[in-house]
Structure 1
Amino acid sequence: MEVGGILTYEGSNFFRQRLLLATLSGKPVRIRNIRATSEQPGLLEYEANFIRLIDSISNGSHIEVNDTGTAMVYKPGVLDGGHLEHNCSLQRGIGYYLEPLFMLAPFCKIPLDITLKGITNNKMDPSVDMIRSSMLPVLKKFLVVDDGLSLRMVRRGLPPGGGGVVIFTCPIRRTLKPFQWEESGKINRIRGVSYTSRVAPTVANRMLDTAKGEFLKFLTDVYITVDNAKGSSPGFGLCALAHTNMGTYFCAEAMSDIPEDGGETKLPEDIGKEAAWRLLEEIYRGGCVDTLCQPMVLLFMVLTPKDVSRIVLGPIAPHTMHLLRHLRDFFQVTFKIDEYAEKSFSFSDEATERKLGAPKLLLTCIGTGYTNISKGQI
């Protein structure tokens, strides 16, 4: 709702979405009652850390937080970019900070070159492996030219100690490219990485063999690499990526529990099987992007020139549904959502419609004609 000309929200949910959209739209936002009834009221450490990150990549932003941290007002400035270094909170993974950076970086004044330090893989946030495998190719589709776009993991860091180092560079664009993306294609290969940190190197091979055994039931082109890191904290996991012949990527991962959390100890074989089944579920959900990329694709569709963009998605995730509501608040854009019936192949013996996986949705919108004003000031 809007109070006194400022968009006002209650609670701590979707905190990143609100600050992200406020930054892009240039509209101030007020958030009240942030964990007001909780035993730990107010902003948590990783949320305050995220605010500092937004402030460091922008110029002229104004942030007011009350004494208890339960209310804040954010007045966005101009995205500046440049060469930066940021120490992420160890309460969350680097992926928590990378997701919004992927959506902000193309609209900076200076190409962004940022080094993030912290936890590269945890169970709460998408890992750097997932983001590099899934979100990076989708971002390339919008930028058209990918010169200078890279996400490099210098050192892997697992919880609770962290110690990971990631470098993200992104070029700037004045406008994005509208698109129609309705065919996801067929899975033709699976790639992945089996990683360990301060455990026996054979653990990676045990995960790899189990996951590969699951995938080989469906196709033969499966290749998973091994990464035995020397981090500060022990742990292991597997990230798998499915490619289609139409340039669609589905990504999923699983990793071991943190010893300090007292969770159930899982065997490497269990982690390998869990990662494989999660990827198979992601393939079943289908669509032209996986669940991780849904918010970024829908946001960029809104920011494209005033032309029609459409995409086919699988079942919409809860955080994507809330993003659609926030896009209506900040940009006054609503999506047309229809059921999508997949077309049959003309060269196939089957003349009936294909009903593969979960029901699909066709989302259509007209872009707002968003322009990166900062780029013109260089």
Structure 2
Amino acid sequence: MEVGDVIVYEGSNFFRQRLTLATLSGKTVKIKNIRIKGEEPGLNEYEANFIRLLDRLCNGSHIEVNETGTSVLYKPGVLMGGRIEHTCSNKRGIGYYLEPVFMLAPFCKIPINITLTGVTNNKLDPSVDMIRSSLLPVLKNFIVIDEGLSFKMIRRGLPPLGDGVVNFTCPVRRTLKSFQWVESGKIKRIRGVAYSSRVAPVVSNRMLDAAKKVFSKYLPDVYFFVDNAKGKSPGFGLCAVAETNKGTFLSAESMSSSPKEDKDIKLPEEVGEEAAWRLLEEICRGGCVDSTCQPLILLYMALTAKDVSKIVLGPLTPYSMHFLRCLRDFFKVTFKIDEHLDNSLKISDDDEEDLKLGSKKLLLTCVGTGYTNISKGQV
């Protein structure tokens, strides 16, 4: 709902995407009635931490939070970027903060060089490994130049104590070009990493052996790296990535329960198999990007030059559906969504069931807003 020059929302859902799009569009947003009926009303610690990160990325922001924390008024400033060091809340993963940073980084005034400290892998948010394998290739396609673009995990940190360190640098762009991305290609190889912290090194080998056992039924080119870290908290997990011959990356992950979670302890074999089946599910969903990348690619489509952009995606996640609504609120952009019919596969109805091509795909089309980074003097 828009009241005057202020866009008003209620509730705590989709908190990050509302503040991120407000920062890009320059529009003031007010979020009220945040958990007013909950046992702990108001902002959570990690949400307040995210507001502090946005404040450090921008110059001249105006933020008002009422005494109970149930109402936030955010008037964005100018995206500056530069060198930033930020300690994230251990209640959420670093991926919770990196996803909005990936959306904002190309439109800063100064190329961003940000170091985040916290939990690199957890069950709630995309892990650092998934972001490196899926979001980073998408960002490369839009940035075009590789100079100044890097993503490094300096130290791995698992919940609850975290202490992981990640560094991300990104050049700035003045405008984005429209694109047509309608071919996802066929899976040609699977890569991944089996990681562990403060457990026996053999645990990583047990995970990757279980995952390979599943993948070997479908593809011969499967290889996993092993990362035995010495973090503060014990745990283990596996991240698997499928790459197609058209440059599409699909990722999935599974990990053990943290010491503070009151859940059944998973064996390494169970974690490896779960990660493998999650990746196969992601492959079944299909599309030119995976579920994690959907909001990022939709944002870039909306901000491209005033021309038509198209992309083929698998079924939209609930988060992506709401992201489309927020894009309409902040940028007045609407998408045309059609079922994608792949004419390159000339098959009869009888053969279609046998091929098992996965879930139905969607073709999303929009006309970009011609968004310009006014802080950037030249391309």
TM-score by length of 1: 0.97
Residue matched to 2:217: 217
Contact 1:344–1:352 (Cα < 8 Å) also in 2: no
Gaps of 5+ in 1: none
Percent identical among aligned pairs is: 71
Where does 1:48-87 land on structure 2 (aligned, <5 Å)? 48-87=48-87
Quote the offset at 1:4 in angstroms: 3.2
Residue matched to 2:272: 272
1:307 aligns with 2:326: no
Specify whether residues 377 and 144 from structure 1 end up closer, same or farther in structure 2 by C-alpha distance, changes over 3 A only: closer
Residue matched to 1:253: 253
Residue matched to 2:364: 363
Residue matched to 1:6: 6
The CA distance in 1 between the partners of 2:220 and 2:39, in whole Å, is 52
Where does 1:187-226 land on structure 2 (aligned, <5 Å)? 187-226=187-226
Residue matched to 1:235: 235
Alpha-carbon displacement from aligned partner over 1:178-204 (angstroms, at most 9, x marks no partner): 100000000000000000000000000
Amino acid at match of 1:315: P
Aligned residues: 377
1:92 aligns with 2:112: no
Moved over 4 A (4+): 348-355
The CA distance in 1 between the partners of 2:172 and 2:350, in whole Å, is 46
Amino acid at match of 2:375: S
Residue matched to 2:373: 372
The CA distance in 2 between the partners of 1:199 and 1:192, in whole Å, is 19
Quote the offset at 1:5 in angstroms: 2.5
- The CA RMSD measured in Å over matched residues stands at 1.6
TM-score by length of 2: 0.97
The CA distance in 2 between the partners of 1:202 and 1:156, in whole Å, is 18
Q: Secondary structure at the match of 1:190?
A: strand
Gaps of 5+ in 2: none
The CA distance in 1 between the partners of 2:328 and 2:345, in whole Å, is 37
Residue matched to 2:140: 140
Contact 2:5–2:27 (Cα < 8 Å) also in 1: no
The CA distance in 1 between the partners of 2:245 and 2:36, in whole Å, is 50
Amino acid at match of 2:215: F
Quote the offset at 1:355 in angstroms: 6.3
Amino acid at match of 1:51: I
Quote the offset at 1:344 in angstroms: 2.7
The CA distance in 2 between the partners of 1:352 and 1:26, in whole Å, is 52
Quote the offset at 1:376 in angstroms: 1.9
Quote the offset at 1:350 in angstroms: 11
The CA distance in 2 between the partners of 1:253 and 1:132, in whole Å, is 13
Quote the offset at 1:343 in angstroms: 2.0
The CA distance in 1 between the partners of 2:266 and 2:248, in whole Å, is 31
Q: Bigger CA drift: 45-54 or 335-344?
A: 335-344
The CA distance in 2 between the partners of 1:352 and 1:233, in whole Å, is 51
The CA distance in 1 between the partners of 2:349 and 2:2, in whole Å, is 53
